[in-house]
Structure 1
Amino acid sequence: MLTSITNYEITWEKLPDDFVLDDEPVDNINQPSLAAALTESLEIAGKVPPNALTTTNYGICAAVNQKFVVKAPDWAYIPAIRVPREEVKRTYTPQLQGEVPVIVMEFLSDTEGGEYSIKPTYPPGKWFFYEQVLRVTHYIIFEPDTGEIEAYQLDDGRYQIRTPDENNRYWIAQIGLFLGVWQGTRENRTGYWLRWWDENGRLLLWGLEKAERLAAQLRAAGIEPEV
């Protein structure tokens, strides 16, 4: 498959088996927990259909001017893949293997990770790749230490920063949920988290929260839950 943008030829090809992927460690210690928390509440709420795919630090690729480019966003949501899951174990190629991610996220670390890089030459920057090559609708940049969130949406081919609603949340139409920042504790980490709310403003719960809520309801009814 071939797509053209000014001065660039984009080819949607499967990454060769002998292509050497970067093997760099995750540079943000909070990244795995933040990503897992986003996915868990979506799964519990039934917002991850069987053919959808959520990824964390996982390669999404395309060929730009006949050179393969692979970026691994800290978290991404792909609404539908069209191939068996065993075919996307290593990397994922949009258009060829399924739909383009509707949202990608980067969690800022103490080091410069290039989340704002618009570098168009090889290898292109993350911002350029998400905006101009993949054309991902929503790009989220999150600072876990301060809870600051930047939400960008593709508008006329360019990312435009969004203004949050009165609850400081952002509507993600393709998922049918609001995204916002929540402060609290999970897995021995107390701090800021990205979380989901439904259209009625109800927080999508994690598994432990659902269990705790059920236990409280049972106790209120005079029933002591089994441990």
Structure 2
Amino acid sequence: MTSTVELQKTPRIIWEKLPDDYILPDDPVDNISQPLLASALTEALELSGLVTPEMLIAVNMGICVKVDSKIVLKAPDWFFVPRVFPVADGTIRRSYTPHTEGEVPAIVMEFLSETEGGEYSIRPIYPYGKLWFYEKIIKVPTYVIFEPDSGRLEVRQLGQQDYEIQSPDGQGRYFIESIGLYLGVWHGTRLNLTTHWLRWWDEQGNLLLWGPERIAQDQQRIQQAEVKAEQERQRAEQEHQRAEQERQRAEIAQQEIVRLQELLKNAGISQEEN
């Protein structure tokens, strides 16, 4: 039986990369929507030019560390590291070890499904609950738990020791300081999937768009520009027609003056006498 002393002792943490021959688990995702939710978050950042080479944004990649001589590996549905150390050309990251390979992940997200995945688990002994692992061992500043079916979003921010649940702003969004954006819930359709999605907004309240939305927006702008150009062409044509009418009226008036002058001349009346 595990004693209280064993539960409360400080674990010995070694920030050690996984061995090259370590066999990673090949567990299927709990829900087909999870990869779509994750890729949508990344796509909006990439298309907005907010992803830089020194960052790491990963989906279902293992965050690993050795605790009390045992390898602990957790694979969040999405996580973000502001700065990582470069790898050799051609090297593909199989996992990520904080401190050894770069900074601690600034944001970790877990998407809930019908299958309990330990997202709220505070199990303090091996293999450790996810919440405990992110809070006490890795010390991830921002932990997000999202349930897409209901749209329920929870954001936890690491205090001096424990996570503190954050409150949303008036729009139901949370400002994520490490990435300088607001995170919130949006209901709609993407890739033929209608559900609740996590979306980013900038500090001015502008939604960061996905690829199809950007295309639609560009098409709308092109259509608006074409309409404006056609309106300008019509206005120019109308101005040209008005100018032509004025020219014709002036020409007729001049012809009338010439005709009257000719009549006066034929009648023997000089213009000076008038």
| TM-score under structure 2 length normalisation | 0.77
- 1:20 corresponding residue in structure 2: 23
- 1:71, 1:126 within 8 Å by CA — same for their partners in 2? yes
Identify the match of residue 74 of structure 2 among 71, 79, 82: 71
Cα offsets for 1:137-184 (capped at 9, x unmatched): 000000010101011000112111000001100001110000000011
In the aligned structure 1, how far is the partner of 2:137 from the partner of 2:93? 22
In the aligned structure 2, how far is the partner of 1:32 from the partner of 1:53? 17
Would you say how many aligned residue pairs link Structure 1 and Structure 2? 219
Q: Which structure has the highest strand share of the two?
A: 1
- 1:8 corresponding residue in structure 2: 11
Identify the match of residue 111 of structure 1 among 94, 109, 115: 115
Within-5 A mapping of 1:33-112:
33-84=36-87, 86-87=90-91, 89-112=93-116
- The Cα of 1:45 is off from its aligned counterpart by 1.1
Within-5 A mapping of 1:177-196:
177-196=181-200
Q: Unaligned stretches of 5+ in structure 2?
A: 1-7, 228-274
- 1:147 corresponding residue in structure 2: 151
Asked whether 1:175 is paired with 2:193, we answer no
| TM-score under structure 1 length normalisation | 0.93
- The Cα of 1:33 is off from its aligned counterpart by 0.4
Identify the match of residue 138 of structure 2 among 125, 134, 137: 134
Q: Which structure has the highest helix share of the two?
A: 2
In the aligned structure 2, how far is the partner of 1:7 from the partner of 1:208? 49
Cα offsets for 1:99-129 (capped at 9, x unmatched): 1110000000001100011111111111111
Q: Alignment partner of 2:32: what SS?
A: coil
Letter paired with 1:75: W
In the aligned structure 1, how far is the partner of 2:132 from the partner of 2:210? 34
- 1:28, 1:107 within 8 Å by CA — same for their partners in 2? no
In the aligned structure 2, how far is the partner of 1:73 from the partner of 1:135? 14
| Percent of paired sites with the same residue | 54
- 1:182, 1:194 within 8 Å by CA — same for their partners in 2? yes
Greater RCO, CA 8 A, separation 6+: 1
- The Cα of 1:83 is off from its aligned counterpart by 2.6
In the aligned structure 2, how far is the partner of 1:110 from the partner of 1:29? 12
- 1:29 corresponding residue in structure 2: 32
Over aligned residues, Cα RMSD in angstroms? 1.4
- 1:12, 1:94 within 8 Å by CA — same for their partners in 2? yes
